[in-house]
Amino acid sequence: MPLDAQQRLRLRTRHAELLVRGGTVLTPNGAETTDIACVDGRIAALDATGWSADETLDARGLHVLPGVIDSQVHFREPGLTHKETIEAGTRGAVLGGVTAVFEMPNTHPLTLHEADLNAKLAIAQAQAWCDHAFYIGGSGVNAEQLASLEMLPGCAGVKVFMGSSFGDLLADEDAVLRRILRHGHRRMAVHAEDEARLRERRSIAETLGHVRNHPVWRDIESALRATRRIVALARESGRRLHLLHISSAEEIEFLAQHKARVTVEVLPHHLTLSAPECYERLGTLAQMNPPIRRARHQEALWQAVRNGVVDVLGSDHASHTREEKALPYPRSPSGMTGVQTLLPVMLDHVHHGRLSLQRLADLTSAGPARVFGIEGKGRIAVGFDADLTLVDLAARREITNRWIASVVGWTPYDGLRVTGWPMATVVRGRVVMRDGELSAAPAGRPVRFLGQAMPMQPSPHPGDSR
């Protein structure tokens, strides 16, 4: 993007809108203590000696990560705003150190057409605290249009539900999946559970009647069968896949053999909670699809994180009200909050030595940028968006329901004490959160993707100089 006269003047006079001073910065070359100069929403210089600024952010004693990208959230708007909204969901995101989110298509109406996407973008333009993109649902009703739909500005790509969905969004037949796979080129995100097997086995959940049996009903074979099917079908068309929320050792073993075409996401929930303890302690608050499984599966997921089979960490933030979750199992809905707790929970794992901070940054920043072809995000480097997440690795905090911004106001981690905490969130050079307080108005913009047309830029928000 060419520089305008004001931008050229700022660079020539070494004047920034924001200087981030004295932090330990995770650059592509590793961690180094340096300053970051932000001009017109982008990183203009590292080691910003001699720069002046409109605003300075003191990062001494903090680590500065590339802005965290949560590539799987369900913010329920439009149509289900008693569970979540784009405003509340993105507010929770920035309070948790997240600078961009990709939102899922299972809203009312479903996100299947250009008008559905544009309706969400219009809501986000006025209300989103962070940058954002929205998936188009892959379906039998829009399969032949997907190649053009996936290239619309603000579209994160195509999401397919092989199970755990309803109506036009459910794509469980091979013939429909083949049509979807043939129409488009971007990497396709998939929820892989075998719907036919889930229907056959639902009587298990109804007969046993306790959420501890959720992973018995939605067993490993349900996930593995769907995963094998979609990988085989994608091979026919040459399509690349992104397999979401992998939960079992068997899936990991299979997917490790297909990394040339398939990328893998895991969730903090599956890395942190384990059966049967979580079901006894949390009841249906621990109910999600695919389920939290036993320790051997968690151990396999951690090994996959360490050896590079896993590419991305997402939260799968999918909130339901307490009243809905209190319904007798299996009438209780699956899903839990997660966007706000993704980083604190994973920083605690860093503290306990389960992964390095550099690996965490790769899974939450560079990884999503590689997988989805994000333009200008995912690393701290000159010319990239000035998206920064500042964390205190020594800060000790307690995650509580009171802290959660979600409309539903609860987290499965209520009462969990963690070490490591997000202290500031910078979105395109704007300090949006500092020390747990919001410090700017909502001004999120659509995420840019390689090969897409540039999205229309919204009018500047009050107080936003860009």
Confidence band, pLDDT 50/70/90 cuts, at residue 337 = very high
Closest CA to 133 of 184, 71, 68, 42: 71
pLDDT per residue over 404-443, tens digit each?
999 999 999 999 999 999 999 999 999 999 999 998 899 9
Whether the per-residue pLDDT at 1 is higher than 80: the answer is no
CATH number of 68-372: 3.20.20.140
The overall average pLDDT reported for the chain is: 95
Give the Cβ contact number of residue 353 at 10 Å: 7
Closest CA to 352 of 281, 241, 271: 271
pLDDT, residue 424, reads 98
Measure the CA–CA gap between 163 and 171, rounded to whole angstroms: 7
pLDDT per residue over 64-85, tens digit each?
999 999 999 999 999 999 999 9
Dihedral angle computed from the Cα positions of residues 67, 68, 71 and 73, in that order, rounded to the nearest 10 degrees: -120
pLDDT per residue over 281-310, tens digit each?
999 999 999 999 999 999 999 999 999 999
3-state secondary structure of 53: strand
Measure the CA–CA gap between 387 and 435, rounded to whole angstroms: 17
Measure the CA–CA gap between 424 and 63, rounded to whole angstroms: 10
Q: Which of 116, 316, 348, 387 is catalytic?
A: 316
3-state secondary structure of 89: helix
Q: How much is the pTM?
A: 0.95
Residue spans per domain, the chain: 68-372
Whether the per-residue pLDDT at 331 is higher than 90: the answer is yes
pLDDT, residue 46, reads 96
316 annotated active-site: yes
